[in-house]
């Protein structure tokens, strides 16, 4: 059975004092995370080992990196290799967030390499896809996302694919307060699953967790997560407020 996941994406926010407090408030929030559920905190790079120390002993909670580099190692000042994450026991890495695609020109091809590096090192990539507003307005969002999946994922074996978490994040909904409707979310998630079923198999597609991201809030998470093909969320702004993120965790199926 695929996992239901609440993944926080702190982006470039919070001092360590604030972040530590947030983690402690969430872990101490008295919410029970069931065995088919997982909570992941995508924290800024300098906090990864510190945050991991806090969640390490807690089942069903894990720390994620927000990015890694596409090369294995070498003279790439300032970059973080997947092998480095693996060497300190980190299990997740966000790959291809739309902000990385937009501000750092990450192409589908570069992201395919990042996925390879994660998988070689036993790290679950949280692979982000999603269309900008212009594509949504033109009504070509399905083929846009299909191309992202094809160019970044389709070289993977079925077993490798099963280790990938996909996050569908319509760019027009990220940080804008404009959430996709449950119909829009379900339609795209079903489309992603069909694309995977056609390339791999229905059984493989059925095993993949597909998260929704884009203005997930405490007051809309339950409705979004109730869609049959929505397996939780990748949450930015609302993950920075303990009470809100706790409600989002409790909204998982």
Alpha-carbon distance of 69 to 196, in angstroms, equals 25
97 is catalytic: yes
Closest separation in Å from C-beta 9 to ligand PGA: 4
189 is catalytic: no
By the rule CB under 6 A, 125 interacts with ligand PGA: no
Four-point Cα dihedral 153, 9, 232, 170, nearest 10: -60
Give the contacts of 147 (CB within 8 A, at least 6 positions apart): 108
Nearer to ligand PGA, 34 or 178 (CB): 178
Query: Which residue's CB comes closest to ligand PGA?
Result: 236
What is the full DSSP assignment across 19-35? HHHHHHHHHTS-PPPPT
Residue 170 lies near ligand PGA (rule: CB under 6 A): no
SS3 state of residue 95: strand
- Minimum distance of ligand PGA from residue 63's CB (angstroms): 16
Residue 111 CA to residue 148 CA, distance in Å, equals 9
Cross-strand pairs, 94: 126
Please pick, from the candidates 40, 65, 174, 230, the single residue that binds ligand PGA as defined by CB under 6 A: 174
Candidates 47-55, 195-203, 234-242, 245-253; binding stretch for ligand PGA (CB under 6 A):
234-242
| Interacting residue ranges for ligand PGA, rule: CB under 6 A | 9, 169, 174-175, 213-216, 234-238
- Residues known to be catalytic: 97, 169
């Amino acid at each position: 059975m695929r996992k239901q996941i609440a993944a926080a994406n702190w982006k470039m926010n919070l001092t360590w004092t604030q972040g530590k407090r947030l983690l402690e408030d969430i872990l101490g929030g008295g919410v029970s995370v069931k065995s088919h559920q997982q909570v992941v905190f995508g924290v800024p790079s300098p906090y990864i080992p510190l945050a991991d120390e806090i969640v390490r002993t807690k089942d069903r909670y894990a720390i994620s990196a927000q990015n890694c580099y596409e090369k294995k190692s070498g003279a790439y000042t300032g970059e973080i290799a997947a092998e480095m994450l693996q060497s300190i026991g980190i299990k997740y890495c966000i790959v291809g967030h739309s902000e990385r695609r937009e501000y750092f020109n990450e192409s589908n091809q570069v992201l395919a390499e990042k996925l390879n590096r994660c998988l070689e090192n036993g790290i679950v990539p949280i692979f982000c896809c999603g269309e900008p507003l212009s594509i949504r307005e033109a009504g070509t969002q399905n083929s846009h996302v299909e191309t992202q999946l094809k160019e970044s994922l389709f070289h993977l074996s079925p077993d490798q694919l099963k280790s990938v978490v996909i996050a569908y994040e319509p760019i027009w909904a990220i940080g804008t307060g404009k959430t996709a409707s449950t119909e829009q979310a379900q339609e795209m998630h079903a489309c992603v699953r069909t694309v995977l079923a056609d390339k791999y198999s229905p059984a493989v597609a059925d095993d993949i967790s597909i998260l929704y991201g884009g203005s997930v809030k405490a007051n809309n998470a339950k409705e979004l997560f109730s869609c049959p093909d929505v397996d939780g969320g990748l949450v930015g702004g609302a993950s920075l407020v303990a009470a809100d993120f706790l409600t989002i965790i409790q909204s998982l199926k």
